[in-house]
Amino acid sequence: MELITLDLEQSFGDLNEAVLVTNPERTIVFANKAFERLLRVGQDDLIGNTTRRFFADPAQFDRMAELYHRPEDQRHRKLYPIEAVLGDGTHKQLEVVSAPLFDRSRRMCGLLFLAHDVSDRTKLENQLSEIVVTFEDALDAILEGFAIYDSEDRLVLCNDTYREIYEASAPAMFPGNRFEDILRFGLSHDQYDTGLMDNEAWLAERLKQHQAADGQILEQQLDNGRWLRISETRTSTGGIVGIRADITELKQAKALAEKAYQNLHLMADSISACVGEVNLEGKCLFLNKTGCEWFNGRSEDLLGTRLREKLPWKERDAISSLFKQAINGQKASEEVGLNFPDGVFRECQVDCNPRFNDEGNVDGLVVLISDITNRKKTERTLAELYAITSTRELGHEDKIAEILRLGCEHFDLPVGIISRVFNETYTITHAQSPGNVVTPGQSFELKDTYCTLTLQADEPIATAHAAESEFAGHPCYELFGVETYIGAPLLVDGVVHGTINFTAQEIRKRPFTSADVQIIRQFADWIGHEIARQRDHQALMDAKIRMERIASIDDLTQIFNRRAFLEHAEREIQRFRRSKTAFVAVMMDIDRFKNINDLHGHAAGDEVLQLFARTISNELRSTDVFGRVGGEEFCLILSDTDLQEALHVCERLRKRIVYGCQLEQVEQTVTCSMGLALSTREDVAFSSLMQKADTALYEAKTTGRNKCVVYAPAPDAVSA
């Protein structure tokens, strides 16, 4: 045989590659040293034998016989994976490629095999496969929709949530399909809400946003009303990663809130916060935008400075103990009043938090200064407003004068006015001003006052700097130079009576907040009710003075009136002080009751009050005390009840009102807000407890209505 004449040893003996040569009968005629090492056998176990014993699967050995019968076949160009049995009995993954050998007559005289150990590679491939499976499982566990597109904008993979979100487009979501084609498929199935845009214009805009992939948050509406939040960013390889989150509930809640407050312009947040970081020497390492404004400087100018040194020395001493406590590793918090370099005095909640390094040592402080001026001022104003409106020592005119004084103090403005508007004439009926420069009886044309804007808006309006607002072109600015104004319409029995407003010719340093708007609304509501009550009282006095003097039952609702209720309440306070058995006072107010009177008249409003009182009364125990203490205001005493039980009762009552106090002629849903307060030993008189409940009621009103809020001395009330 010519094969014998080949100097195989000279050609392949010292190669690092494992080489094996067989004759046409599949007998081994040559194996180099690398092959011996690979199979862990010697020449005696190879030469003259076949390779059958080295196949873990003998059937594979039989199938490879075809290589000897078809030497011209393309099979010789393939890699064959083989699980080999080594000489020591262990198994190893090999990869084998073959080549036919020919003699000078072009007859096949044998096969040459090259073998490679691929065990490590196979192990890595298996690990990679497991990683891919784990990655896919992780993607499917993500609540958001997730998709990856390559640099050519073709889908690489996406999770099941992504397909569920775009259910109509799911058939088009297969690897390799373009993002544009998936969009077109969804458009053809009316999956997207394109608004007023035609499909091609919408598609072009969406592709532009997609290609930008700058991480900006986009919102997208589907045809079924669902809303998605979309975030898309570029990968390092030029692809795009997209995340889809369902924000339908958030959008629906926002829509409901916008509908409920469509005529209000309230700011969502009235508290500013200064966030800073300092080292142990007190030098500023970071200061946010609000902090820069408060300390009246640019970030680059303030970094590296000691911010405390920019405060008055007394205030530095007031907060130094906080810093010392935080440097010792303890969180520190305190409420202090600070005069900031921007010229504004703020009541602040200062929180100092130690920052720890890897060794557990304090290497700096994170300082949060929250502006609680509005909250503290609002709490004081509400408390005093309640004291003014609930006292029996002041008459009608005195209460209005006190409210004007209180408003001037709350808004830090010198002039407070209540006006009567009739036949386009603005007449001052009550006034508070330095030196009485503004007096009752003065009249002006309505168009020359900011109040014409207030009445047109039909809601409170305010400006702290008229020259830089739409107020600048108004005659009031040109005639009187009024820079600061906050005012609200004054309604009496649903009819415009005039306005209440507070003004100054100077620019206000602090902008008005949503709490300020609510306060002046409270002032306007109370004065409107007070004027209406005064008119009603006068009319009743002209006929026959009764009700408050001789009756203990409210004629309309058939429950205790205010006087009788407060008498019972005072007795409950005395009983509590004797027996120490706590009780809970609940202030109730029908939400947007004024709207019912305005839109449907007092008859409908009275019917709502009657139905409301009857619904509550039917749910109470015989020991509970329930009375009407104002127009749509009621008060309830739950005797021998702790806060948890009372909150449970009030939640049940609130739900009963929603389901049992609706009238066919009244379109809006009748709901109720409640404020709860537990009696304490500090409550010498019921008025203090009622004040707490009223504060909680105000919290319920200003945070969404139709809820029960428990009064708490801490900054935040507990809301159910």
Q: What is the pLDDT of residue 271?
A: 42
Distance CA 563, CA 686 (A): 13
Distance between CA atoms of residues 591 and 589, nearest Å: 6
> What is the spatial distance between Cα 530 and Cα 511, in angstroms, rounded to a whole number?
29
Q: Which CATH number is 562-719 given?
A: 3.30.70.270
Cβ atoms of 431 and 449 closer than 8 Å: no
Kindly give the parts of the chain with pLDDT less than 70: 1-7, 70-77, 124-142, 257-272, 542-551, 714-720
C-alpha span between 35 and 17 (Å, rounded)? 8
Cβ–Cβ under 8 Å, residues 169 and 185: yes
pLDDT tens, 537-587?
A: 777 776 665 555 556 888 899 999 999 999 999 999 998 888 888 899 999
DSSP string, 255-300: HHHHHHTTT----S----EEEEEE-TT-BEEEE-HHHHHHTTS-HH
Residues 275/368, Cβ–Cβ less than 8 Å: yes
Classify domain 136-260 by CATH number: 3.30.450.20
For the chain, how are helix, strand and coil distributed in percent, rounded to 5? Answer: 40, 25, 30
State whether residue 508 is helix, strand or coil: coil
CA distance 97 to 462: 87
pTM, two decimal places: 0.37
DSSP 8-state class, residue 193: -
Distance of alpha carbon 673 from alpha carbon 658, whole angstroms:
11
As a whole number of angstroms, the distance between CA 475 and CA 720 comes to 48
Name the residue ranges covered by the structural domains of the chain.
2-117, 136-260, 273-371, 391-539, 562-719
Name the residue with tokens 């969502």: 268
* Euclidean distance between CA atoms 657 and 672, whole angstroms: 7
Beta-carbon-side half-sphere exposure of residue 345 (alpha carbons within 13 Å): 7
Element (H, E) at 710: strand 708-710
Say if domain 273-371 classifies as CATH 2.40.110.10: no
First to last CA, the chain: 99
Q: What gap in Å lies between CA 270 and CA 715, rounded to an integer?
A: 14
Task: Please give the C-alpha separations between residue 594 and each of 491, 514, 599, in angstroms, as whole numbers.
Answer: 9, 20, 8
pLDDT at 393: 85
Rounded to whole angstroms, how far apart are CA atoms 138 and 420?
A: 68
| pLDDT value for 268 | 25
- Give the model confidence (pLDDT) of 62-82 as tens digits: 888 888 776 665 555 677 888
Which class does domain 391-539 fall in? alpha beta
**Gap between the Cα atoms of 582 and 643, Å rounded:** 9
Is the dihedral angle over the CA atoms 179, 180, 185, 186 positive or is it negative?
positive
Tokens of 465: 């700097």
Indicate if 562-719 has the same CATH topology as 391-539.
Answer: no
Fold classification of 2-117 is Beta-Lactamase (3.30.450)
pLDDT value, residue 134: 61
3-state secondary structure 20-68: EEECCCCCEEEECHHHHHHHCCCHHHCCCCCCHHHECCHHHHHHCCHHH
